[in-house]
Amino acid sequence: MNAHLSSGEARPSRAARGFLLVSGTIRLALQAAAVVSIVRRRPEAINGPKWLWLLISCIGFAGPIAYLLGGRKIGR
């Protein structure tokens, strides 16, 4: 007998598992894009210190989006 199911806890629905899978994949893709961009750019092409943006990029969805929208100097 499965210990998880015998505890009386309900399993997430198929839709909930799908949502978690898709949102997790998007989050990891955003973070990967931000980290690769931070590492490859010259320090003068980033608004602020690289180490700070690397830390910020670890904050859920907001961190990578913040970097991708405001952390890079584009066309300057």
- How confident is the model over 10-31, as pLDDT tens digits? 888 999 999 999 999 999 999 9
What is residue 33's predicted lDDT score, i.e. its pLDDT?
97
- For residue 9, what pLDDT band results from cuts at 50, 70 and 90? confident
What is residue 6's predicted lDDT score, i.e. its pLDDT?
58
End-to-end CA distance of the chain: 63
The DSSP code sequence of 1-51 is --HHHHTTPPPPPHHHHHHHHHHHHHHHHHHHHHHHHHHHS-GGGBSS-HH
Question: Which among 15, 71, 21, 69 is positioned nearest to 48, based on CA atoms?
Answer: 71
- For residue 1, what pLDDT band results from cuts at 50, 70 and 90? very low
pTM of the predicted model as reported, rounded to 2 decimal places: 0.77
